[in-house]
Chains A and B, each alone.
Chain A
Amino acid sequence: DAKTTQPTSMDCAEGRAANLPCNHSTISGNEYVYWYRQIHSQGPQYIIHGLKNNETNEMASLIITEDRKSSTLILPHATLRDTAVYYCIALMGAGNMLTFGGGTRLMVKP
Protein backbone atom coordinates (compact mmCIF):
# COMPACT_ATOMS: atom_id res chain seq x y z
CA ASP A 1 0.00 0.00 0.00
CA ALA A 2 1.14 3.52 -0.75
CA LYS A 3 2.72 5.61 1.98
CA THR A 4 0.74 8.64 3.14
CA THR A 5 2.05 11.87 4.64
CA GLN A 6 0.05 14.10 6.96
CA PRO A 7 0.86 17.15 9.08
CA THR A 8 1.53 16.23 12.68
CA SER A 9 -0.98 18.61 14.16
CA MET A 10 -3.56 21.25 13.28
CA ASP A 11 -5.83 23.63 15.16
CA CYS A 12 -9.32 24.67 14.15
CA ALA A 13 -11.82 27.07 15.67
CA GLU A 14 -15.12 25.59 16.77
CA GLY A 15 -17.80 26.06 14.13
CA ARG A 16 -15.30 26.55 11.31
CA ALA A 17 -14.42 24.02 8.64
CA ALA A 18 -11.48 21.77 9.36
CA ASN A 19 -9.46 20.86 6.26
CA LEU A 20 -7.05 18.01 6.81
CA PRO A 21 -4.58 17.33 3.97
CA CYS A 22 -2.96 14.05 3.02
CA ASN A 23 -0.29 13.33 0.42
CA HIS A 24 -0.19 9.94 -1.26
CA SER A 25 1.97 10.57 -4.31
CA THR A 26 2.74 6.87 -4.93
CA ILE A 27 -0.85 5.69 -4.79
CA SER A 28 -1.75 3.11 -7.40
CA GLY A 29 -4.85 3.14 -9.54
CA ASN A 30 -6.77 0.59 -7.49
CA GLU A 31 -5.89 1.89 -4.03
CA TYR A 32 -8.62 3.57 -2.06
CA VAL A 33 -8.08 6.50 0.28
CA TYR A 34 -9.55 5.80 3.71
CA TRP A 35 -9.92 8.17 6.63
CA TYR A 36 -10.29 7.08 10.24
CA ARG A 37 -10.13 9.06 13.42
CA GLN A 38 -9.32 8.08 16.96
CA ILE A 39 -10.58 9.94 19.95
CA HIS A 40 -8.46 9.48 23.04
CA SER A 41 -8.51 5.91 24.41
CA GLN A 42 -11.15 4.73 21.94
CA GLY A 43 -10.92 2.45 18.91
CA PRO A 44 -10.46 4.05 15.48
CA GLN A 45 -13.68 5.29 13.93
CA TYR A 46 -14.30 5.02 10.19
CA ILE A 47 -15.08 8.37 8.57
CA ILE A 48 -15.12 8.08 4.80
CA HIS A 49 -13.30 6.59 1.82
CA GLY A 50 -12.99 7.16 -1.91
CA LEU A 51 -11.22 6.03 -5.05
CA LYS A 52 -11.39 8.81 -7.64
CA ASN A 53 -14.49 10.87 -7.10
CA ASN A 54 -15.18 13.26 -4.27
CA GLU A 55 -17.32 11.73 -1.56
CA THR A 56 -19.63 13.13 1.12
CA ASN A 57 -21.42 11.54 4.02
CA GLU A 58 -23.00 12.73 7.25
CA MET A 59 -19.62 13.10 8.91
CA ALA A 60 -17.34 14.65 6.31
CA SER A 61 -16.39 15.30 2.71
CA LEU A 62 -13.41 13.82 0.91
CA ILE A 63 -11.81 15.72 -1.93
CA ILE A 64 -9.36 13.75 -4.07
CA THR A 65 -7.21 15.59 -6.61
CA GLU A 66 -7.52 14.59 -10.22
CA ASP A 67 -4.07 12.99 -10.27
CA ARG A 68 -4.96 11.21 -6.98
CA LYS A 69 -1.66 12.23 -5.41
CA SER A 70 -3.35 14.04 -2.54
CA SER A 71 -6.65 14.40 -0.78
CA THR A 72 -8.35 16.59 1.80
CA LEU A 73 -10.79 15.58 4.49
CA ILE A 74 -13.25 18.34 5.31
CA LEU A 75 -15.24 18.54 8.52
CA PRO A 76 -17.67 21.32 7.58
CA HIS A 77 -18.49 22.64 11.05
CA ALA A 78 -15.97 21.38 13.56
CA THR A 79 -17.08 20.84 17.15
CA LEU A 80 -15.06 20.19 20.29
CA ARG A 81 -15.97 16.51 19.94
CA ASP A 82 -14.05 16.38 16.66
CA THR A 83 -10.78 16.74 18.58
CA ALA A 84 -8.95 13.53 17.67
CA VAL A 85 -6.11 12.00 15.69
CA TYR A 86 -7.07 11.65 12.03
CA TYR A 87 -5.47 8.94 9.92
CA CYS A 88 -5.29 8.88 6.13
CA ILE A 89 -4.64 5.40 4.73
CA ALA A 90 -4.17 4.09 1.20
CA LEU A 91 -5.68 0.63 0.97
CA MET A 92 -5.70 -1.81 -1.90
CA GLY A 93 -8.27 -4.49 -2.09
CA ALA A 94 -10.20 -6.54 0.36
CA GLY A 95 -8.42 -8.40 3.09
CA ASN A 96 -5.47 -6.03 3.34
CA MET A 97 -4.44 -4.76 6.70
CA LEU A 98 -4.69 -1.06 7.43
CA THR A 99 -1.29 0.62 7.74
CA PHE A 100 -1.62 3.57 10.09
CA GLY A 101 0.94 6.35 10.02
CA GLY A 102 1.29 9.03 12.65
CA GLY A 103 -1.89 10.82 11.66
CA THR A 104 -2.83 14.46 12.26
CA ARG A 105 -3.76 15.54 15.74
CA LEU A 106 -6.65 17.96 15.28
CA MET A 107 -7.41 20.27 18.17
CA VAL A 108 -10.73 22.10 17.93
CA LYS A 109 -10.68 25.16 20.14
CA PRO A 110 -13.60 27.23 21.48
Chain B
Amino acid sequence: DTGVSQDPRHKITKRGQNVTFRCDPISEHNRLYWYRQTLGQGPEFLTYFQNEAQLEKSRLLSDRFSAERPKGSFSTLEIQRTEQGDSAMYLCASDPGLVGYTDTQYFGPGTRLTVL
Protein backbone atom coordinates (compact mmCIF):
# COMPACT_ATOMS: atom_id res chain seq x y z
CA ASP B 1 0.00 0.00 0.00
CA THR B 2 1.63 3.24 -1.22
CA GLY B 3 -0.83 5.56 0.50
CA VAL B 4 -2.52 6.58 -2.75
CA SER B 5 -6.11 5.36 -2.82
CA GLN B 6 -8.56 5.18 -5.69
CA ASP B 7 -12.27 4.62 -5.73
CA PRO B 8 -13.97 2.63 -7.09
CA ARG B 9 -11.58 -0.22 -7.87
CA HIS B 10 -13.87 -1.54 -10.59
CA LYS B 11 -16.60 0.12 -12.63
CA ILE B 12 -18.82 -1.43 -15.25
CA THR B 13 -20.99 0.93 -17.23
CA LYS B 14 -23.00 1.04 -20.40
CA ARG B 15 -21.89 3.00 -23.41
CA GLY B 16 -23.09 6.59 -23.24
CA GLN B 17 -23.16 6.81 -19.45
CA ASN B 18 -21.01 9.21 -17.42
CA VAL B 19 -18.55 7.90 -14.85
CA THR B 20 -16.44 9.61 -12.18
CA PHE B 21 -13.37 8.28 -10.43
CA ARG B 22 -11.73 9.60 -7.30
CA CYS B 23 -8.08 9.65 -6.26
CA ASP B 24 -6.76 10.49 -2.81
CA PRO B 25 -3.01 11.16 -2.97
CA ILE B 26 -0.48 10.74 -0.22
CA SER B 27 -1.07 13.44 2.36
CA GLU B 28 0.79 16.69 1.59
CA HIS B 29 1.81 15.55 -1.88
CA ASN B 30 1.44 18.61 -4.09
CA ARG B 31 1.47 16.91 -7.48
CA LEU B 32 -1.15 14.48 -8.68
CA TYR B 33 -1.10 12.59 -11.98
CA TRP B 34 -3.63 10.60 -13.97
CA TYR B 35 -2.60 7.82 -16.36
CA ARG B 36 -4.54 5.35 -18.48
CA GLN B 37 -3.48 1.80 -19.23
CA THR B 38 -5.08 -0.43 -21.84
CA LEU B 39 -4.58 -4.17 -21.94
CA GLY B 40 -1.03 -5.20 -22.76
CA GLN B 41 0.30 -1.65 -22.86
CA GLY B 42 2.25 0.50 -20.43
CA PRO B 43 0.49 3.37 -18.67
CA GLU B 44 0.01 6.57 -20.68
CA PHE B 45 -0.01 10.04 -19.17
CA LEU B 46 -3.31 11.93 -19.20
CA THR B 47 -2.90 15.01 -17.01
CA TYR B 48 -1.33 16.38 -13.86
CA PHE B 49 -1.99 18.93 -11.14
CA GLN B 50 0.33 21.06 -9.08
CA ASN B 51 -1.86 21.72 -6.06
CA GLU B 52 -5.22 22.73 -7.56
CA ALA B 53 -3.83 23.92 -10.90
CA GLN B 54 -4.06 21.58 -13.87
CA LEU B 55 -0.73 22.22 -15.57
CA GLU B 56 -0.58 19.75 -18.42
CA LYS B 57 -2.98 17.67 -20.45
CA SER B 58 -2.20 14.96 -22.96
CA ARG B 59 -3.83 14.89 -26.37
CA LEU B 60 -5.33 11.61 -25.14
CA LEU B 61 -7.58 13.67 -22.87
CA SER B 62 -10.47 14.33 -25.23
CA ASP B 63 -13.17 16.87 -24.44
CA ARG B 64 -15.25 14.07 -22.93
CA PHE B 65 -12.70 13.82 -20.13
CA SER B 66 -12.42 16.34 -17.33
CA ALA B 67 -10.28 16.29 -14.23
CA GLU B 68 -10.43 18.47 -11.16
CA ARG B 69 -8.55 18.93 -7.94
CA PRO B 70 -10.60 21.64 -6.26
CA LYS B 71 -8.79 22.05 -2.96
CA GLY B 72 -5.45 20.66 -3.92
CA SER B 73 -6.12 17.40 -2.12
CA PHE B 74 -8.20 14.68 -3.77
CA SER B 75 -8.89 14.64 -7.50
CA THR B 76 -11.73 13.42 -9.69
CA LEU B 77 -11.64 12.23 -13.27
CA GLU B 78 -14.94 12.28 -15.12
CA ILE B 79 -15.65 10.65 -18.46
CA GLN B 80 -18.82 11.78 -20.19
CA ARG B 81 -20.68 9.72 -22.78
CA THR B 82 -18.42 6.72 -22.33
CA GLU B 83 -17.35 4.70 -25.35
CA GLN B 84 -16.10 1.12 -25.51
CA GLY B 85 -12.64 2.47 -26.30
CA ASP B 86 -12.57 4.07 -22.85
CA SER B 87 -12.29 0.63 -21.27
CA ALA B 88 -8.98 0.68 -19.45
CA MET B 89 -7.27 0.89 -16.07
CA TYR B 90 -7.16 4.49 -14.82
CA LEU B 91 -4.19 5.08 -12.55
CA CYS B 92 -3.49 7.93 -10.19
CA ALA B 93 -0.06 8.85 -8.84
CA SER B 94 1.28 11.56 -6.56
CA ASP B 95 4.62 13.05 -5.61
CA PRO B 96 5.74 15.70 -3.13
CA GLY B 97 6.06 18.34 -5.85
CA LEU B 98 9.07 20.06 -4.36
CA VAL B 99 10.26 22.77 -6.68
CA GLY B 100 13.58 21.99 -8.26
CA TYR B 101 13.61 18.34 -7.29
CA THR B 102 12.97 15.21 -9.28
CA ASP B 103 10.38 13.46 -7.20
CA THR B 104 9.30 9.86 -7.13
CA GLN B 105 5.72 9.20 -8.15
CA TYR B 106 3.75 6.67 -6.13
CA PHE B 107 0.82 4.96 -7.75
CA GLY B 108 -2.57 3.91 -6.49
CA PRO B 109 -4.14 0.53 -7.25
CA GLY B 110 -6.11 1.88 -10.20
CA THR B 111 -9.75 1.87 -11.27
CA ARG B 112 -10.61 -0.68 -13.92
CA LEU B 113 -13.36 0.62 -16.21
CA THR B 114 -15.35 -1.67 -18.47
CA VAL B 115 -17.72 -0.07 -20.95
CA LEU B 116 -20.31 -2.45 -22.35
Contacts and interface: CB of A to CB of B under 8 A. Distances in A.
Assign chain B's interface to a size class: 20 to 34
A46 B110 contact: no
Contacts of A45: 2, 107
Interface string A34-73: 1010000111111001000000000000000000000000
Nearest to B58: A97
B104 A94 contact: no
Given A44-B93, A94-B103, A95-B55, 12 more contacts: A34-B104, A46-B104, A46-B106, A46-B107, A87-B42, A94-B102, A95-B97, A97-B45, A98-B33, A98-B43, A98-B105, A99-B45
27 contacts: A34-B104, A36-B107, A41-B112, A42-B109, A42-B110, A43-B2, A43-B4, A43-B109, A43-B110, A44-B91, A44-B93, A44-B107, A46-B2, A49-B104, A85-B42, A91-B102, A92-B102, A94-B97, A94-B102, A94-B103, A95-B50, A95-B55, A97-B35, A98-B43, A98-B93, A100-B43, A102-B41
Interface of A: 32, 34, 36, 41-46, 49, 85, 87, 91-95, 97-103
